[in-house]
Structure 1
Amino acid sequence: MFPPLRLDPTALLGEISAFQRKLASGLGNLADQREPEYANTPREAVYREDKLTLWHMKGHGTPTAKTPTLIVYALVNTVWMTDLQADRSLVRNLLEQGEDVYLLDWGYPDGADRWLALDDYVNGYLDRCVDAVRRASGTDAINLLGICQGGTFSLCYAATHPEKVKNLITMVTPVDFHTPDNMLSHWARELDVDRFVDTVGNIPAELLNWVYLTLKPVRLNQQKYVGLVDILDNPKELQNFLRMERWIFDSPDQAGEAFREFIKEFYQQNKLVKGDLIIGGKPVDLGMITQPVLNIFAEQDHLVPPDASRALGRHVGSSDYTQLAFKGGHIGIYVSGRAQREVPPAIHQWLSTRN
């Protein structure tokens, strides 16, 4: 039996009153907040195609790195998680380390993109962006830094276009999609993706956001908004909270055919680690990746469990393979203070010994 619950009515009333006062006083701050901005690092568009833009990010000084680095983000959400704000920016920190950074912004697909396939993204858009960076920098091969699904795309690209990739970095990247602790994978494996895509066409961003939020329903749908009351009287913290909320819900729809293929080939059939994957008629063999590889994952990641990323070490063909684990979650590895202090310097140090 549970012990009896003893509550002090006076103390409880005091807590409720304090909560009400803080909520009432903080609502004024909330009403005065302007829409938070992100993506404030200076940049120049060096290539455009359809919805895509390739940005050359600009730091305060001339890059010291001899080889440019192209950041490839997932199709879900926007690439600006890497440049959320001045003191929480992977991009800005890499620039300050002396890296020459380019950013692939996939844009927002619409009905015209319904039939885009994985071949279009990997062997089309990504390949042409790599060529644009090579031309702009005058280098034969560049560094790829792939994030989440963008890391999976980067693995596929490095395996099939090895002559264009000098060093490969993957961050919170799924490789083995069938690890036991991958809840998202368990859900996706039960999806009738053909009926789904044939019915809705492009996949609505609002639907995907709902899926991700329900992976941790109490934490992501209730607790964080209850906790919001504690920062309503702190304009800076409130602005940070709203900036993150804007990014979370500023999500592109997904091109239907590419979504169908990704769910089938990766989540349902796990072809990347089985060696059965073919994209655009080209076999994708992780054993063909012989470039230096740095694999970074988050220890508390609920979207890409650590074991899903660690699997890369068992399948990649490189003799120069390094993996780094950082405390934090899927998003925290980019925006937490600890990550800002540790991750960009680790990337720079690793690259500097190989460039």
Structure 2
Amino acid sequence: MATETPLKGFIPELDYEKEMNRWSHVFKFLSEPEPEVGHTPRNEVWRKNKSVLWHYPAKQKKYEIPLFFVYSLFNKPYILDIAPKVSVIEGLTNSGYEVYLLDWGSPGYEDKKIGLDTYIDKYLRTAVKRAIRHSEADEITLVGYCLGGTIASIYASIAEEPIKNLIVATVPIDFKPFVGPDKWAEGMRNGDMNIDHFIDVYGVVPPQVVDGMFRAIGAPIYFTNYTMLLSRAHDQRYVNKWRRMNRWTLDQVPFAGEAYRQLANNLFKENKLVKGELMIGNKKADLKNIKANLFVVSGSRDNLILEEQSKPIMDLVSSEDKTYFVVETGHVGLALSGLFAKIVDQWVSTRSNQL
């Protein structure tokens, strides 16, 4: 007497030839050399320690006021120039802007004493002065992405330099909302997580630890990107984009110990920026000192920086011209797609003294 399998027809038959082709494609991609990044022509303007100020000339200069990019200390900034046609920097130079980018570099153990105050008051301030002098402009536009937006905002609150526009995207300002394991926030704020002891031991935060932090925040979907690669291995355009994104994701940098200590204690733990209590050297970084035209961009699908972390800056600054803009994208997708260049151009073009 024959018996029928209840699941027959429910589970699709495996096409071994198709699966072998799929996996061979994946293994081929993963064994190839890393894709090139940073295609937009540039030249070095200034260097201090590991940090470099890069200038990206406009293809045909249309605006008097240059753009100065400040990126996060956690990652390398080539996400802003990831590939031709989707590069944020290329899009802006093609639109007629002179663009500058401060690349913080990768700190070594010898840089363990560099704090946020040093990065902002010594590195960023000097770089902005050099960019203004190099461009022969009277004013400048600061553009900060992620933690770079936080740093740009702090600097703008104490700057003596002429900042006409401040643009911040996916920016954490209010650190009370926390994205990540609840125990992390609880441990950091009640003192169970001893950041000071960790920094005293390591000197700098190793890139493996930085990578682990982002994995924990992204759990349990961290490996989704590999699943997507497997399912779309036949799409060469998608694979090229995936490989560049994967390179950047895994290419973490060390974090200077003193800077991380200040970030953890003064911002994550005590939320001093929102309270107006943050000190940079002997200056109080009060956001109400900011009078520059302000443009804030958030991603509605950003699972790293929430809108409620970015929105408070709108009420804390003294700017008369301020705009809050929400894009239907994620944290990295805003830069990876090149969309950010179009959004910035649309807003800043009327505020950059067209030639």
For the 8 Å contact 1:22–1:232, the answer to whether it is kept is no
RMSD over equivalenced CA pairs, Å: 2.1
Match of 2:201 among 178, 193, 199: 199
Matching residue of 1:352 = 349
Instruction: Give the CA deviation at 1:81.
Output: 0.7
Residue 329 of structure 2 aligns to a residue whose secondary structure is coil
- Tell me the SS of whatever aligns to 1:123: helix
Partner of 1:23: 22
Which residue of the partner structure matches residue 210 of structure 1?
212
Q: Secondary structure at the match of 1:348?
A: helix
Displacement of 1:274: 0.4
1:1-355 to 2 correspondences below 5 Å: 8-10=7-9, 12=11, 14-15=13-14, 17=16, 20-27=19-26, 29-30=28-29, 33-59=32-58, 61-179=59-177, 182-183=179-180, 187-188=184-185, 189-190=188-189, 191-221=193-223, 223-336=224-337, 340-341=338-339, 343-355=340-352
Q: CA deviation at 1:25?
A: 3.5
Contact 2:112 2:257 in 1 (8 A): yes
User: CA contact under 8 A between 2:23 and 2:230: conserved in structure 1?
Assistant: no
Q: Is the 8 A contact 2:293 2:322 kept in 1?
A: yes
- 8 Å contact from structure 1 (residues 231, 238) kept in 2: yes
SS state at 2:205 partner: coil
Query: Is the contact made by 1:71 and 1:103 (CA closer than 8 Å) also made in structure 2?
Result: yes
Does the CA-based 8 Å contact 2:288-2:318 persist in structure 1? yes
* Cα separation, partners in 2 of 1:21 and 1:126, compared to 1, 3 Å: same
Corresponding letter in the other structure for 2:328: K
Residue identity matched to 1:314: D
Bigger shift: 87-96 or 261-270? 87-96
Aligned counterparts of 2:231 and 2:20: Cα–Cα separation in 1: 11
Offset of residue 346 of structure 1: 2.6
> Aligned to 1:228, what secondary structure does the other structure show?
helix
Q: Aligned partner of 1:263: which letter?
A: A
CA gap 1:35/1:183 in 2 versus in 1, 3 angstroms = closer
Distance 1:216 1:259, change over 3 A: same
CA distance in 2, matches of 1:113, 1:7: 65
Distance 1:158 1:24, change over 3 A: closer
Of 135-144 and 227-236, the range deviating more from structure 2: 227-236
**Structure 2 CA distance for partners of 1:52 and 1:7, relative to 1, 3 Å:** farther
Q: CA deviation at 1:162?
A: 4.4
Shift of 1:237: 2.6
Distance 1:26 1:11, change over 3 A: farther
SS at match of 1:103: strand
TM-score, length basis structure 2: 0.90
Q: Tell me the secondary structure at the aligned position of residue 144 of structure 2.
A: strand
Deviation, structure 1 residue 27: 4.3
In the alignment, the residues of structure 2 paired with residue 277 and residue 114 of structure 1 have an alpha-carbon distance, to the nearest angstrom, of 21
* C-alpha distance in structure 2 between counterparts of 1:54 and 1:284, whole Å: 24
Decide whether the 8 Å contact of 2:173 with 2:309 is kept in 1: yes
In structure 2, the CA distance between the partners of 1:18 and 1:301, relative to structure 1 (3 Å rule), is farther
Q: What's the CA shift for 1:22? A: 3.7
Displacement, 1:252? 1.2
Greater Cα shift, 117-126 or 182-191: 182-191
TM-score when normalising by structure 1: 0.90
Shift of 1:13: 5.1
Residue ranges of structure 2 left out of the alignment (5+ in a row):
none
Q: Percent identity, aligned pairs only?
A: 31
- What code does the residue aligned with 1:74 have? S
Structure 1 residue 225 displacement after superposition: 1.4
SS in structure 2 of the partner of residue 146 of structure 1: strand
Structure 2 counterpart of 1:3: none
**Residues 1:186 and 1:174: Cα distance change in structure 2 (over 3 Å):** farther
- Shift of the 236–345 alpha-carbon distance from structure 1 to 2, 3 Å rule, reads closer
AA of the residue aligned to 1:50: N
Change (3 A) 1:185 1:40: farther
Give the secondary-structure state (helix, strand or coil) at the position aligned to 2:217.
Answer: coil
Answer whether contact 2:26 2:229 (CA < 8 A) is retained: no
Is the CA contact 1:177–1:266 (under 8 Å) kept in the aligned structure 2? Answer: yes
CA distance in 2, matches of 1:266, 1:18: 54
* Paired residues of 1:170 and 1:294 also in contact (CA < 8 A): yes
Separation in 2, partners of 1:21, 1:53 = 46
Q: Distance in 1 between matches of 2:126 and 2:45?
A: 12
